[in-house]
Structure 1
Amino acid sequence: MTDNQAAGSRFELPIRVYIEDTDAGGIVFHAKYLHYMERARTEYVRHHGIALRAGLADNISYVVQRLSIHYAAAARLDDRLSVSAELVACGRVWMEFDQKVTRAEDGVMLAEARVKVACVALDSGRPRRIPDSIRSLVDQDQ
């Protein structure tokens, strides 16, 4: 796969809104959407058989480099959500995801984001080439 080439394969993670996710009015706090999206990206990788602990043992970590988010509607206490992660582009040291949070009951889109994740050396924080296991994940999604 070359830089900026689209990858595909959308992954969906169900999530329930708990009291800890909300403000006093029962509305989800804006930063919680980022937690939901992080979980969906992590489960996307796990779903494809990539062990994240193995990466840590190999001095590899992933950090959010860039994030653009649009909040369209509020999630509320006890809502069932569907959080998607779709790998849409990949470079030598980064991956880019499109993500959406929708309410499961009616399919209303609550938030959407474009998230660029960089691969870095855990000990130094310096950019590092994406491991072959991740690259093969990208290639199989085409």
Structure 2
Amino acid sequence: MTHLWPIRVYYEDTDLAGLVYYANYLRFIERARSEMVRAAGVDQVEMKARGLVFAVRRVEADYLKPARYDDQIEVRTTLDRVKGASFDMPQEVWRGDDLLFRARVTIVVLDAQGRATRLPADIRAALAPFTADVGP
């Protein structure tokens, strides 16, 4: 299953040329990841109370075409690997039929001491509908 999150590009998202500033794509995909996790039923505030948080470990990004002021774009997020303490989230930003940006984000689960820790079974189960490749 792919999570879809629509966004309107605002003036504040653009640079002097009127194009979306490159770092804002990272903001867009961060918000979309948060919304996907929420849609899966994972409460990150409750996770924090349990001493667990998600953290970005790695981002690989490709900027393919620019988005501009007032564009209606959509972030598409999936999971393609869930491992012991981490998972990968491929994300794409589309404007209609045009792929503008794509990234692969690796998320790690950290404990209260900042150490990688195993993804709890309940969170793994909640995320399962978003991936076909759920590992051990």
> When the two structures are superposed, what TM-score results if normalisation uses the length of structure 2?
0.91
- Partner residue of 1:132? 121
List per-residue Cα deviations over 1:105-136 (Å, max 9, x = no partner): x3200000111100001x32110111222210
Choose which of 22, 35, 38 in structure 2 pairs with 1:30. 22
Identity of aligned residues (%): 34
Counterparts of residues 1-142 of structure 1 (less than 5 Å): 9-103=1-95, 106-121=96-111, 123-141=112-130, 142=132
Instruction: Count the aligned residue pairs.
Output: 131
2:120 corresponds to which letter in structure 1?
P
Q: Is the 8 A contact 2:94 2:100 kept in 1?
A: yes
Structure-1 separation of matches of 2:47 and 2:6: 25
Query: Secondary structure of the residue that 1:26 maps to in structure 2?
Result: coil
Instruction: Give deviations 1:14-49, integer Å, cap 9, x for gaps.
Output: 001111111122110101001111111111111111
Which stretches of structure 1, 4 residues or longer, exceed 4 Å deviation after superposition?
Answer: none
**So what's the TM-score if we normalise by structure 1?**
0.87
Root-mean-square deviation over aligned CA pairs = 1.2
> Structure 1, unaligned stretches of length 5 or more?
1-8
CA distance, structure 2, for counterparts of residue 138 and residue 52 of structure 1: 13
